[in-house]
Amino acid sequence: MAENGLIANARRAQGLTQQALSRRTGIAETAVSSIENGRDARLSTVERLLAGADHSLIAIPSTRAGAADVAGDIRSAVKARRPDVAARSFIQLNDNLAAEHNESRYGLGLTEPAPTGNKRWDAALAGLVAFRLREEGFPPPTWTTRDSRHLKKAWTFTSGTYLTPVRRSAVPPDFLERGVLIDAASLRSV
């Protein structure tokens, strides 16, 4: 993710406006906006903005998109009313997490994604990250356990036109506790 998306995601994940981030960091709001819209920034400026949003920059050896990146793709798909694109992005994150191991897998799920604009997808992302990190022996990041990442009413995950019933006994616990019904077989990486 380029620094513009990284900063915008960190800011949104903390519920901050550009103005609030500007006040926290002493960096002009116009500069925050410009950087989020693609203007190049010095590393020290990026680190300062991230720190203002209670985030830090960490280098991880991977070229795969993590949860925060994919949440942005899902947010765009939700705005465009393209559930098929959101589902493909979700499956891609699943495959990315499954392909990485150890610290690299943890790194892809560590950064809290900004809300997607759809509680179902927010819960599904949390369930997926928790599931894949536990599989590797890591505890899930704190963001995955927040109430905002749990559904009050269960939702059956679908990636197509037809809704296929899911047996609760086939749903991994990390999804079940968040109210997302997805069959474990659907999570096998291809």
Q: What is the pLDDT of residues 23-41, one digit of tens each?
A: 999 999 999 999 988 888 8
pLDDT score of 162? 58
How big is the chain, counted in residues?
A: 190
Are 148 and 113 within 8 A, CB to CB? no
Whether the model pTM is above 0.75: no
Q: Indicate whether 1 pLDDT > 50.
A: no
The Cα-based distances of 122 to 78, 110, 128, 156 in angstroms read 11, 15, 10, 14
Residue 34 CB partners (closer than 8 Å, separation 6+): none
Residue 129 pLDDT class (50, 70, 90 cuts): very high
Provide φ and ψ at 183, rounded to 5°.
-70, 135
Residue 102 CB partners (closer than 8 Å, separation 6+): 136
* Mean pLDDT calculated for residue range 137-147: 94
Q: What percent of the chain has pLDDT over 70?
A: 92
- Which DSSP string corresponds to 86-105? HHHHHHHHHHHHHH--HHHH
The CATH number of the structural domain formed by 3-52 is: 1.10.260.40
Q: Which residue has the higher pLDDT, 8 or 118?
A: 118
- Which DSSP string corresponds to 55-66? ------S--S--
Residue type, 140: P
Please report, for the chain, the start and end positions of each structural domain, with discontinuous segments joined by +.
3-52, 67-187
Are 127 and 115 within 8 A, CB to CB? no
> Tokens for 50?
């991230």
Residue 10 pLDDT class (50, 70, 90 cuts): confident
CA 112, CA 30: separation in Å to the nearest integer? 25
The strand pairing partners of 155, in sequence order, are 180
Least confident interval from 53-67, 71-85, 124-138: 53-67
Q: Indicate whether 54 pLDDT > 70.
A: yes
pLDDT score of 136? 92
Mean pLDDT (the chain) is 89
* Mean pLDDT calculated for residue range 84-113: 92
